[in-house]
Structure 1
């Protein structure tokens, strides 16, 4: 469908919406997102001190995963000689070059913030990072004793010479390259010592020796600093010339040929083990590492200069998240207790609440406990006959999985789809899958070639001689821990039409059903893209009739080319479009004649914006979908996803008020421009921090209920 305007009665040739000028590179868009995360640490007024340190950690952990998965994939393309260009016209090598240039700049910003801003500010508040060389002899002696007793036994020095092969460096390992000299033969030697990941990177001095370090300050020393200054104990009768820190990041993407995998669980386990051996995609070194040591590492790790990153100071700052364990509430966000509406209104009876009317919860402002209670109560309720559920990420101590196991023990039929391919959660999920199988639950691992990312539960309960199906849909995972820091919706309903669709979906997931028609659910890879584009095009038609067209979409990422082109066409027709995209956005807004009616914002704050919302004005008969799917080819073509309609007008108004508030944010929101860059939203309106206002709203609800009681 083309919407070409006319000029003096002559139709203008519609623009080529496939043109590279209309798209942002996916990889560079992600780097822009991680920059916005870093900005939370750079801004001195954004958060308390330890929360700013947390954002340094999140930025660093994000970057590690980016190299392990995304950069590794582009390196594979380049080495395979693939010259296919991305939607914005870049070859694999051009992407790698731009990635390196931007990441080096970000790492400089990160380190400048950490060393020149955060460390001095923390020291002013009684939290210090110390160097072994700067400590008094008494303190050094205490640390040397600790080293001998607690660290030395764990270390394994590995030589490298004609009789010893180059030692293996595991993924994310931090290492010391050590140059030695034999005092007898004067021969120069090389050895490697791995900084053991089983020990904490940050050692708190007063927990090491409360007598030696008996002041009120909280002081930390880096584990590698302590090891480096005690290497003599590992190499007696050897002269230590120099030691150099380096860090290795490998390709960690698991490739699964499922057609050849007789046992998917075993295949995933093998894939997890193989992560240790993936190709090195980044080698972090200190700038003062001499060239001959660099050459030795580069040759034996098989990397080029493009993969080598010189980084001042500490290598690998993801561990800084551990500083949040410090008992200093004055340096952290104010604690928040979420509002439990089901407890307040229905005495915790989730079945009564859902029977009364559809229930929508907005986490973390609304408590996640009703979701846990839904499974827990179902597992113990004698009237419940069966529970069916999808599990993607649930965490290592899942009360939900324990409730499912209890349900089996109570004689209920329990069928669980456990997604073993949830990246970096594979080990957790393997453990839970085996535990569920051991008690007799029906456990399946999904469909060949597809990840099951859908978040849905169905509980079948006998009520008044009839069976009633209770449903829960989520935009986020069944993980109580992440539900405290991710913004997500939970929706409970007893809708018969949705229950019929969910029953069909589970038949597809657990059996051989090839069901392709859903009455209300949008299910990937069956119909999500098709339906979303149809809804966009309907909005265009209605706008041309009455001028009321409006679309609001909130998601984590917008990458899908066909959907982007549908949005461009809608904008060209005058439909007002607001996109709230936390991370990657390949669409360019504000382009005259193409996307001038599209606004793109990204909100980065205390909580991770994770909910997916798709709203269409529909000439006043508003239509709203929530669910698990972002608008990316992987979500639309290679995953099982669900988007569910919200039909209750009062709930639609609630969600609409939520996203309208987010769209007004001028404190934590970033706006995207036509060139793909972002800037903080700035206007003359009173300050609106949407997450802060949601917290205040939840606290007011809690206070209101307590007052009424």
Structure 2
């Protein structure tokens, strides 16, 4: 028997390859201009988070003298060296794309002006705007006079200022000014005398123009100012002091995060060399750290919100529509109690989720609502519905994950709001993040207890539901809801309730049985292939980095199982190997919407098993989080999911091939061009006109 290979692609290198696919979208001339600018913002934001989390983790491993076990053949230092080279190449490509976009913006009569090329009227406007809107938010730091280098705020950009006199090169003074993007928009539209032309100046350039006024006290004559930015370690250790509540521990951790060590320093390559050296030395960085020279503009994440009003021929997103089973009903609850319903966002409207919770809040027969929450919208309709339920006398329990990275502060605020309204808030399990997306509603009618709710692949966030592709199964299936109830029993009593998770026999649950069940399903396909029977595995995930499952997929391909994968982000699997009897096929789709759903399909000797899950195939998801996956019971829904996946596998417009070399080559278009997100929209829209069949629940 041929042995399967045992090598993988380093996780962080694969992630950088994913971000390169985002950059490809920004470079694609067929993508609308405002979307190309948005993709540059997404690329920048992604990279910030990568440095704050992954690069910081690698640096910590080095400082502790530990090797990164998730990287099988390379040390953390080698990974960091590779990251530096790749990031510098990507930065160069980023700058090239931005320059092309600037040219296209000019053709569209959208001009970004600097402080050096303003008309007289615009100079007056900028001076007045600064005095009225900006000056009160500008607080220069005279860094030469400060003994300890000042705290640099995360996610902020700073103008590094050099002041000098014309007749002396020696009398110079340095200062740092935080660009106040939290208080003032970064994009300010200038008055223009040219019809149809939009002229925009960035906030930092308004400050540059007014430097003589800001520093008038010193009577300097020459000023130069260039953007710099520090990226810091975003991790914080939870202090497991039993005297502290989890809330207090999170609050302490957030304070520690703000004092995190710099892991990257980006700067305008035109910055004064002496000031650059000074900043590197004072901030405790060395030439070995990630020092990234760039162009004039940094913190491109703000460009995700570039003013859309300036673009001609506005291209709005396709509007979501009502799922076919819910399009002609006044009560979502009535439908769910009769049949399972699958919502596929962002194609389907998110409103049924809100309506379900609102109905439950008012239904006199409903006694309890239990729900998990990971990332909530800033103006959350979900929270409003839950608060209304509590006000109406329902018992409402929200399992709120306070450790959702970068949403910790938001979730602390939601905790306080919910508890003030009488909602019971459960704040998770030590050492396990609660990432499952589940809801249970209990009602008593005619002396019977009825449970219904949902299992989802994505967050209960009405804002991201318009951009993220996810699936949500609304169901009253007794076996599914019994397991959902067991999960909540565990989450509410995690110190004594571990037995509840072990009792789950319908759902796949992390960290108890999910890994075991996945391996069991893959092994069944291997057994079928070795018996010369048809065998196939199709997985759609955000990330694939778990060695155990990757090696099992290698074993499957070596045995002759057809393995097809749609992986949006990290894919550590080497998909090409001579030992594979059937070549593995892996693609990544990066397009208008973010592919976030997790779907698994096993041939299962012709009795196809279709699963939707909240979990990626990563160690953290399978071993260190509470996750939930559900096997689809209704054949019509299983068929719909399979057909959606088949459309994606046929994508030849936005699909890239995930090969061993991470080249991100597009799938070649042969025959009809298929852009899967457009095709899926049309596929689901057509179903709204088809007659719905009512199927009674088991």
Structure 1 CA distance for aligned equivalents of residues 166 and 310 of structure 2: 48
- Residue among 537, 542, 550 paired with 2:523: 537
- Residue among 224, 231, 241 paired with 2:211: 231
Counterpart secondary structure, 2:38: helix
* TM-score, normalised with respect to structure 1: 0.93
- Residue among 25, 47, 55 paired with 1:63: 47
- Residue among 108, 128, 139 paired with 1:145: 128
2:90 is equivalent to residue 106 of structure 1 = yes
2:219 is equivalent to residue 219 of structure 1 = no
Structure 1 CA distance for aligned equivalents of residues 211 and 661 of structure 2: 52
Structure 2 CA distance for aligned equivalents of residues 216 and 128 of structure 1: 11
1:584-615 alpha-carbon deviations (Å, 9 max, x no partner): 01111121114743111111111111111111
> Which runs of 5 or more structure 2 residues have no equivalent in the other structure?
692-698
What's the CA shift for 1:390?
Answer: 0.6
2:266 is equivalent to residue 284 of structure 1 = yes
1:406-440 alpha-carbon deviations (Å, 9 max, x no partner): 11111111111000011111122111111111121
The 3 A distance-change label for structure 1 pair 458 and 689 is: same
Structure 2 CA distance for aligned equivalents of residues 647 and 324 of structure 1: 46
1:680-708 alpha-carbon deviations (Å, 9 max, x no partner): 10042311111011122344445679xxx
Relative contact order higher in (CA < 8 Å, ≥ 6 apart): 2
2:21 is equivalent to residue 36 of structure 1 = yes
For 1:685, the equivalent position in structure 2 comes to 671
What's the CA shift for 1:326?
Answer: 2.0
Structure 2 CA distance for aligned equivalents of residues 180 and 271 of structure 1: 38
2:415 is equivalent to residue 459 of structure 1 = no
1:285-328 alpha-carbon deviations (Å, 9 max, x no partner): 11122332122111111112232111022112111111254264
- Residue among 403, 407, 420 paired with 1:438: 420
For 1:10, the equivalent position in structure 2 comes to none
- The 8 Å contact of residues 14 and 570 in structure 2, kept in 1 or not, is answered as yes
2:364 is equivalent to residue 379 of structure 1 = no
For 2:341, the equivalent position in structure 1 comes to 359
The 3 A distance-change label for structure 1 pair 261 and 477 is: farther
- Residue among 572, 576, 581 paired with 1:590: 576
Structure 1 CA distance for aligned equivalents of residues 314 and 91 of structure 2: 24
What's the CA shift for 1:142?
Answer: 1.8
For 2:162, the equivalent position in structure 1 comes to 179
What's the CA shift for 1:504?
Answer: 1.2
Structure 1 CA distance for aligned equivalents of residues 450 and 317 of structure 2: 42
1:488-510 alpha-carbon deviations (Å, 9 max, x no partner): 10101111111221111111000
For 2:239, the equivalent position in structure 1 comes to 257
The 3 A distance-change label for structure 1 pair 669 and 276 is: same
Structure 1 CA distance for aligned equivalents of residues 166 and 43 of structure 2: 45
Judge which range, 158-167 or 686-695, deviates more: 158-167
Structure 1 CA distance for aligned equivalents of residues 451 and 571 of structure 2: 38
- The 8 Å contact of residues 562 and 582 in structure 2, kept in 1 or not, is answered as no
2:234 is equivalent to residue 266 of structure 1 = no
Structure 2 CA distance for aligned equivalents of residues 419 and 338 of structure 1: 30
For 2:695, the equivalent position in structure 1 comes to none
The 3 A distance-change label for structure 1 pair 595 and 481 is: farther
Judge which range, 182-191 or 284-293, deviates more: 182-191
Judge which range, 148-157 or 634-643, deviates more: 148-157
2:188 is equivalent to residue 204 of structure 1 = yes
Counterpart secondary structure, 1:330: coil
CA RMSD of aligned residues (A): 2.2
- Residue among 476, 483, 488 paired with 1:501: 483
What's the CA shift for 1:329?
Answer: 6.3
Counterpart secondary structure, 1:678: coil
Structure 2 CA distance for aligned equivalents of residues 194 and 324 of structure 1: 22
Counterpart secondary structure, 1:134: coil
1:83-117 alpha-carbon deviations (Å, 9 max, x no partner): 456534111111111101111111111111112x2
- The 8 Å contact of residues 133 and 184 in structure 2, kept in 1 or not, is answered as no
* TM-score, normalised with respect to structure 2: 0.94
Q: How many residues align?
A: 684
Judge which range, 495-504 or 55-64, deviates more: 495-504
Counterpart secondary structure, 2:254: helix
Mapping of residues 516-531 of structure 1, within 5 Å: 516-531=502-517
The 3 A distance-change label for structure 1 pair 213 and 82 is: farther
Structure 2 CA distance for aligned equivalents of residues 184 and 32 of structure 1: 51
What's the CA shift for 1:363?
Answer: 1.0
For 1:622, the equivalent position in structure 2 comes to 608
Structure 2 CA distance for aligned equivalents of residues 104 and 168 of structure 1: 26
What's the CA shift for 1:244?
Answer: 2.8
